[in-house]
Amino acid sequence: MGRSRRGMPPASSSKAATVLDRELSELVADVGIPLVGATLLTRWWSPLHPRAAWQLQFADGHALKGMRFNSPAVADGVDHLLGLLGDRHFPRIIARRGPAMLLQWIEGAPVTSRRGQADVLRQCGFLHGWIHAQAPGGAGATAPGSKPDWGARLEAAAEILAKSGTLARREAGELIRQARMHLPLTAATGITHGDFCAENLIAGQPDRIYVIDNETLQMDALDYDLARTWYRWPMGRRHWAAYGGGYSEHRGLADFKAHFPYWSVLVLLESAIWHLAKRTGAESIPLRRLPALRRVWSRSGRGVRGAVGP
């Protein structure tokens, strides 16, 4: 069976059922076909956060995706939002029990291998914009919504990293000062993906993009979600133009660009906190992006728009 899409070794076929927890094992048993393989897909798995995903292979040759969320409440939220988004671009939910879920396995070529094609990037941006245009009660553009003190969220993230010794307090203070110059007072909120990037997208047939990893679906600020894509899917200006052209067919990018220095710093700091909390040892990965932001600030004195990112 080789290695999984995320580079994790597969479980042995004879032990496939034993790597799954009780709820997911019960869902697998309900399929009624012997399980012969379970490949862990989760790259940053941690016993502190039991969320994980597997490719499950059955004796008749078909595969399903198995998901274990951190709690039934989180699974409820993803279940609800996938129901709103439908199955044209997302896998169908086959079965659900507590924090466990079985989903359709999507076959196709990863977008990663085609990421430089402008038409594919535009199609991906179009799909991202479409997700953001879906209101919780049905289709339609989301309205701007206030969020209690976005500045406090930024400062809280910097303080956590400073206390842990991951980020120097002087460095954290400079980041906050620069980001606050572009602080949004309100932000449009709606359905966000949380990890919309090339490795989570499949180019299926006929000429359709599928979003295959959706465990981070939630309600949040749309521009924070765009900044997550900027971080997780580095693109040059020309590629961002194609992506943004597709996205803009559903929602304009003016607010995102105006406040990009704030969203980019917040995303990098909170990504580092995520790694710190899960004890992956990789909190330095997002923080390596910060020097590039500071270099552009020092040259331009007006933020990073158009220089790194969209």
pLDDT tier at 166, thresholds 50, 70, 90: very high
How does the average pLDDT of the chain come out, rounded? Answer: 84
pLDDT in tens, 238-257: 999 999 999 999 999 999 99
Angle of helix 222-232 relative to helix 260-278, nearest 10 degrees, comes to 70
User: Does 78 or 308 have the greater pLDDT score?
Assistant: 78
Which residues have a Cβ under 8 Å from the Cβ of 161 and sit 6 or more positions away? Answer: 167, 172, 269, 272, 273, 276, 283, 287
Domain ranges of the chain: 13-105, 110-300
So what's the pLDDT on residue 15? 45
So what's the pLDDT on residue 41? 87
Residues 269, 154: Cα–Cα separation, whole Å: 8
pLDDT higher than 50, residue 236: yes
So what's the pLDDT on residue 175? 85
pLDDT higher than 60, residue 296: yes
pLDDT higher than 80, residue 205: no
pLDDT in tens, 77-90: 999 999 999 999 99
**Hey, which CATH number is domain 110-300, 3.90.1200.10, 1.10.760.10, 3.40.50.720, 3.20.20.70?**
3.90.1200.10
So what's the pLDDT on residue 83? 94
So what's the pLDDT on residue 241? 94
So what's the pLDDT on residue 185? 86
pLDDT higher than 50, residue 151: yes
**What is the three-class DSSP state of 202?**
strand
pLDDT tier at 106, thresholds 50, 70, 90: very high
pLDDT higher than 90, residue 76: yes
So what's the pLDDT on residue 115? 60
pLDDT tier at 301, thresholds 50, 70, 90: very low
| Mean local confidence (pLDDT), 8-22 | 52
Residues 152, 129: Cα–Cα separation, whole Å: 28
pLDDT tier at 278, thresholds 50, 70, 90: confident
CATH top class, domain 13-105: alpha beta
So what's the pLDDT on residue 281? 87
pLDDT higher than 50, residue 306: no
CA atoms within 13 A on the CB side of 281: 1
Which residues have a Cβ under 8 Å from the Cβ of 179 and sit 6 or more positions away? Answer: 154, 261, 262, 265, 266
Strands 63-68 and 138-139: unpaired
So what's the pLDDT on residue 1? 29
Residues 307, 102: Cα–Cα separation, whole Å: 42
Minimum mean pLDDT range among 66-70, 133-137, 163-167, 295-299: 295-299
Which residues have a Cβ under 8 Å from the Cβ of 5 and sit 6 or more positions away? Answer: 41, 55, 110, 199
Minimum mean pLDDT range among 2-6, 134-138, 212-216, 246-250: 2-6
pLDDT in tens, 33-62: 999 999 988 876 666 667 889 999 999 999
Percent of the chain with pLDDT over 70: 81
